[in-house]
Amino acid sequence: MSQPKIKRRVGKYEVGRTIGEGTFAKVKFARNSETGEPVALKILDKEKVLKHKMAEQIKREIATMKLIKHPNVVRLYEVMGSKTKIFIVLEFVTGGELFDKIVKHGRMREEEARRYFHQLINAVDYCHSRGVYHRDLKPENLLLDAYGNLKVSDFGLSALSQQVRDDGLLHTTCGTPNYVAPEVLNDRGYDGATADLWSCGVILFVLLAGYLPFDDPNLMTLYKKISAAEFTCPPWLSFSAMKLITRILDPNPMTRITIPEILEDEWFKKDYKPPVFEEKEDTNLDDVEAVFKDSEEHHVMEKREEQPAAMNAFELISMSKGLNLGNLFDAEQGFKRETRFTSKCPANEIIHKIEEAAKPLGFDVHKKNYKMRLENSKAGRKGNLNVATEIFQVAPSLHMVEVRKAKGDTLEFHKFYKNLSTCLEDVVWKTEEDMQECWKAWTILMECTGLVYPSKMSIVINGY
């Protein structure tokens, strides 16, 4: 049960936890072992990417993105390929998603929304001017850095999540259509620039209103509302904001406002400062060529190293913090996607209890040994919520249970975890308060006996 930990390496990167999973790609945390710099590693299935007719366009866009060093665009550092995968190394952005702010605090004041909208338009304008389109601008692609600045992710990469069917046109495969332009939904081929602007209009509406301009549980009705640009502005919107939104959410892409016109708009111009930044001149594009050439000599080294026997009991317990919801926010990482607790129940009983708790909440449960995957059948804000759990044995009668969001919205995960924790009260061994008492007792014991604690434990103890 307590398997040895596998450490994975891709080239010079040490690969860590999964940050998120989409239909097409997995995003993992990784660290450049030469510089120590943290990165986000986007992992794609090579066969799926290369088989469709977009390969040339994707290659061109990735090459262009490598040249772009814009303050509001997530940096793409390099691309690597193995026999079966493509790895895209991205700047690691730590401030969470812009829309988590809306979910938590509701709509924004116009000044705040305007600042984000300026940054969004700067990013979009810059990439468009270099022939790169996003085609899938939506909340999860709007990240915030540590200083609260907007960083648009996936520019030039979203074609990867779309399909070219036999008619040679782009077809959106999945995801919520709420941000998608009518001409994209009509599926007659479209211009990336005007379609991106529509999505910017929807984003601006959400920032100012706190809800979506087009929404309906019935997909056909939603399509109709989008096609007719049928939306109503909330009464608190200023006249000039309303005017701009209406010009962006024009269902006809031919008459829709353009970026140069937005830059001249009265509402937009207030406090606008054009960005100042340096472009990266001397970028080497050999890696992009190599990935798409697919010659074996250019494959990146993928290594799996077995770690010495699993962590010891002290370290495992120090990672588990009971079922206290306060643990779900971390000052460094923002909203947490994983948490752990300890239990003195047998593993089978823990599994059974989790299953019993998850099913009434609408989750399908898949079990494999001591791992479980809980899949919610209802689509949430970011698709279906998927939760992965794993049980580790610390001692014959002590287990640590890890609960991790594998897919979906982090705040929906927190809500699920809150429900789960209520159902698991009799399974959990230690609450956080108990743990603190436990550490204090250990400190005294260690001090009296003169024993040295494992390093992780001493950090935790000193932290209290």
Query: Which residues are known to be catalytic?
Result: 136
Nearest distance from C-beta of residue 199 to ligand 3AM, angstroms? 17
Cα 348 to the center of its chain, rounded Å: 32
Residue 86 or 428 having the CB closest to ligand 3AM: 86
Q: What is the DSSP string of 287-353?
A: HHHHHHHT-GGGPPPEEEEEPSS---HHHHHHH--TT-GGGGEETTTEE-SEEEEEE-S-HHHHHHH
Residue nearest to ligand 3AM (CB): 20
Residue 103 or 461 having the CB closest to ligand 3AM: 103
Nearest distance from C-beta of residue 423 to ligand 3AM, angstroms? 24
Cα 6 to the center of its chain, rounded Å: 23
7 is in an annotated binding site: no
Nearest distance from C-beta of residue 42 to ligand 3AM, angstroms? 7
AA identity, residue 195: A
Cα 140 to the center of its chain, rounded Å: 6
Residue 114 or 382 having the CB closest to ligand 3AM: 382
AA identity, residue 181: A
The Cα diameter of the chain in Å comes to 80
Residue 353 or 382 having the CB closest to ligand 3AM: 382
Whether residue 320 contacts residue 342, with contact meaning beta carbons closer than 8 Å, is answered with yes
- What pairs with residue 343 in β-bridges? 399, 428
Show the tokens assigned to 205: 């509406």
Binding site for ligand 3AM (CB under 6 A): 19-20, 22, 27, 40, 74, 90-93, 97, 140, 143, 153, 337, 382, 410
Nearest distance from C-beta of residue 387 to ligand 3AM, angstroms? 12
Residue 143 or 457 having the CB closest to ligand 3AM: 143
Whether residue 256 contacts residue 248, with contact meaning beta carbons closer than 8 Å, is answered with yes
Show the tokens assigned to 372: 């479980």
Nearest distance from C-beta of residue 382 to ligand 3AM, angstroms? 6
CA neighbor of 354 nearest in space, from 366, 339, 338, 344: 366
Residues annotated in the binding site for ATP, as ranges?
42
